[in-house]
Structure 1
Amino acid sequence: MIRNYLLMLCFSLVHFIIWGQEIEQLDKSLKDATTEEQRFKALLELSDYWSYQDTLQAKKYLLQAKPLIRGKDLLQGIYLFYEAGFYYGNNNPKSQAIYMQAEKYFKKIDTKESYRYRAKLWHNYGALEQQKDDDKAFLDITIKHCIPYALKSGDSDLLMSYFTDVGMLFYNHKEYEKALEYYFKAISLVKSPEQETENLLWAYHNMFDTYYMQNKLDKCKEVLEKSEILLNKLPSKKLAALFYKNKARILIKEKKFDEAQQAISAGMKLADQYNLYWDKFALKYEKAQAYKEAGDMVSAKKELSELLADPRGTMSKSRMVMINEIAGMEASLGNFEQAYRWTREYKVLSDSLGALDFKKQMAVLETKYRTAEKEQAINLLESRNLLNRTFMISGLVLAGLIGLWIWYALNARKKRTIQETLLLKQQREIDVAKALIEGEEQERKRLARDLHDGLIGQVTGLKMNVERIARDHQGKHHQDGHTHHQMDLAVVTEQLGAVILELRQTAHNLEPIVLKNDGFEEAIRHFCQQMESTSTKINFYARGLESLKDSNIELPLLRIIQELITNAVKHADASKILVQVGVEDNFVLIEVEDDGKGFDPNQIRRNMGLHNLEDRVIALGGKLNIDSQIGEGSNFMITCQI
């Protein structure tokens, strides 16, 4: 037992070491990028990596990649593919809608890369359909879209994953031999060690499940051993949680319940690390099985009840299995009334699923796929004949290509000239915006000095004179009986005090002393506290702001944040405002989110405040992204390089 525990501990340490190497490799790819397209793809890979662990980081890299699209259909499609992945699992309808937007761009392009992304986006779209209990839609999409596009892309790794998906669907409906047929078909595509990828590991995991359901434990152990060897070779550990799930299942069969629980705990840590809800769900289910087999029905029932109560829900067949198990546990505990209630719920769910003749539908779809395979073989023969004819024509085409190349070179020079002119125009706009902002700041400082040295001093002197007059005439007022004059003077004194306070506040806002004395972070916190009220709660979070040292950057950033918070308080009717400001890798990320009444960014008229905000962001060379809907609050995201 101790030996197995130490092995699992060592295995977990290897995972975390390689996980660190993975992010280092991604960061290196970004630093080594020599072209805009390489940088674009490296940023999206980083966004995808962080989307499993830190959504703020993921969104930062996503927004940095967006300006590099430059109007190219392929890059626009790739960007939308990763943006849909950002929402995958958190906002599934939005994720599916964005995948379909990406498909519109990829359809315009007839390249292997485009077909590879089309296969992947349709797979993800289908997986979300499967989470809605629509196995038929998933199978239909896999056969009609994923497999054909994977073949056109020439990517055998993708094809391997889609054969595995088809096998998994047969497994879900207890067609175990059929499932194994597709798993072996997937594994047969691996011809060299370089092709031993994460998709091969996915095939092993599903093959394990099938052998497990057939009670072939020797086969299970063989597959588990292959999984462990492959997992140690792979840089990504997103499928490691499922390895621990399978490890636990073997240990439960061997009645090693404590070791099984240790394996489950290790798997859950990895599932949390990568934010993998379904993997955690599977591990929690195995935890219940370990308790059940150990005779602890109360703990087992508690785990299953928590799974059923999860608001994210589970697929109907999984719910049916768990409900049936809980009914049996209640009966074994002597709770016959509860057992009867769960049995009735199982019957209702079973009847609703029984209405679907899914096996027939699967058979029809598979027949269509087999027919399509034969048609592809015929098309291959026809393609060979066409190739022979193509060689005969190629000599004539070559001359035309030379002419096209000359035309392309002249056209490329013209485009480059236009692009350089556009860049100069953009730089001129930034310079103008900077000059306007600097002029505005100088005027603010002048007004602050004039208020402090002139008007505030004069009003303060006036207040002191009124107070002196009130004291000098206090006795006389008592004798004459005109105490109301004294009361009037007290009111005037109080009003003058309020005027002085407001003038001082205005002077401080025009030239923030807190920024100068206490620094950027304290200046933001002070302003948040100043704007907060009983009806509006403002939460402020900062990260890495101590690296900001340049007042020429701090002051414009502070003005931007003040404008965003002021708009949320005055115009949005917000009760909660979240302010996040962070600095990392020479990038500043500002996010201000509120739960106010929201607005339509495409319809709203640009008032002075919003114009000032956009001018300040442009002057810093940054990007402003507004996400708002009427009745659903607003989110302002600003990124700029420092």
Structure 2
Amino acid sequence: MIFNPIKKTSGFQVRIISLLCMVIFAVNLFKAQEFFDQKALHDSLYTILKTNKNDSVKARAAFHLAHYWSLKDFKKAESYLVLGRSYFKNNRFLLGIYYSSVIDVYLDHDPVKTRKALQKADSLLSIYHTRDVYNVLAKSWYSEAINAQNANDEKRALDIIVNKVIPYTKKNGKKESLAMFYSQVGILLMNAGQLDNAQEYFSKVIRMKASLSPKRNTLLRAYIYSADVFVMNNKLPQAKIRLDEAIKILIKNPNPADYADYHKAAGSYFEKTGQYETALLHCEKGIAYAKEIQDTYLENSLLRNQFEILFKTKQYEPAEKIIHQLVNSTEYMANIDSRKEVYDQMARISHALGKNKEAYEWQKKYSTFSDSLYQAQLDRDIVAIEAKFKNSEKEKTIMQLQADKKQEELKSKNQRLTSWILGITGIALLIGLFFLVYSYKSAKKLSAQKEINHQQRLNEIEQQHHLKLVQEMLDAEERERQRIGRDLHDGLGGMLAGIKMNLTQQQKTEYHNLNTVISRLDESVVELRRIARNMMPESLLKIGLETSLRDLCELLESEETSIIFQAIDVGKNIPDATQMHIYRIVQELLSNAIRHGSPSNIMLQCSQNQDVFYITVEDDGKGFDVSILDKSPGIGFTNIKNRVEYLKGNMDIVSTQGEGTTVNIELNVTV
């Protein structure tokens, strides 16, 4: 349930209410994204973890299980978190999801760790623009708002929800979650006394009612909170309208927790309108529901409201019974403000009943308790004053010592003058010697630095020359591939097609094996076109890089090998020459994986962040010893390395025999 704020609350009580609201809102938010059958959810995730062969899918399943257990078994949640992290190494997206899962697991155990995890998750995931990512970031930032509330920093908690959580929730399109966060902001503003601003947020939820699920209590709560605010602002007709709408929903979807808060709000309304008997009836019903859900705080709050109504209507004996219930409530009396209030109420009711001796005793307790609070505050003030006095005495002593020191300095000034002259002379000689030594060393260092700079310049010239040669080699290779492709397609392809036509015309007259010849010519034409397409991909020139890579994956996919292609924010304005290099790199990586690794699954992921292009190829094949590449890299690997160096990128290969291979490449694709 979500606790409803009361009219008379201490600072401590307001913080408790807000914190409970935020925690329960978080639980409701997470539950809204899971199956209603928690056991079915767990079994489904566990099956995916055990049977799926894709490491990325298994990692996500493990993180979901960590979240599932975070509310039940911390150790088990922690173990699933570690398991999920073991399924990948350098995947930016999965690393961001991992840190968001760290927040879920450690929220109630290590606030510092969750705050660091939030910074990493936000940094890693901010480049992705999907609803899934927006949802993850909204949950992560809301957890930080709960941390701020735990630290009694309600202003920061409110700022996080308004400026981080709500914008991300708007982007992910989940209306139910957005309404829940609007209500949370309204509750925090109501407890802070900003009633008009709170009403604005509750009204936002009510305006969204067409898109909210009738099976959830988000809209119902907004009506109840809005009614509370209208009562506090003495806008009673508007409060009545809100309460009427709330009871309509409650009748269709009854819930004890919702009924308890409804009757509390209704009791406040009828008390303000002077309908005290109706107000008392609502308090009784609210207390019954609070007992049913074992909400002691709400029960005590309703009892206090009931006492005030009974006292106001001079029903002193029932009021006395209620106040005795509060006196016997250990939880209620544990709070200093509540205890002080109860002493005052006991004195009032005893006096009203003519029990003057008891009234005197309770008033004495009230005064003694108030005096003790005052004395404690006075003691703190005295300590502060004494600290200021001690600081003042210290400052006087310091000033006196400083005056004595100046006197001594004046006395010894003449004596030191001669020593200064001799000292300055000696220092001048030492400085001159130092500068001579320094000049010599500086000249030596300068000469050495010039030699280093000269060598670096030579290295740069050599590197530029090497890159120029590599570019010329690659350009020549591409021109030759294109020329051969055109020649094969336009020349030899046309000739073979002509032969086929001539043979077809003579099929029934001259050759008895003509069908076999034609069939072989068909195969030759298909093979010729395949070679031509491989040497010069027409789709790359016509429809762009992303579609060409997708076509390449479909071309290389077979019954033995499944290829999954993922493209994230791949731009369409990459220069043609750069697109060709990327295409050739991916073509060589996929060919090597299929030819040498014999994998069952290959995942190709291509993404772009401004001028940086990322390529990740992951397979579950045989793997190999990466050190072999340093000894005998092979032509294919050399071509890939040259293209990566030309595009000022870097490449990382991770492979273990029997566990597959992962290749991560970053390229500079200046648009």
TM over 0.5: no
Larger RCO: 1 or 2 (CA < 8 Å, sep 6+): 1
Q: TM-score, normalised by structure 1?
A: 0.43
Q: TM-score, normalised by structure 2?
A: 0.41
Q: Please identify the structure whose Cα radius of gyration is greater.
A: 2
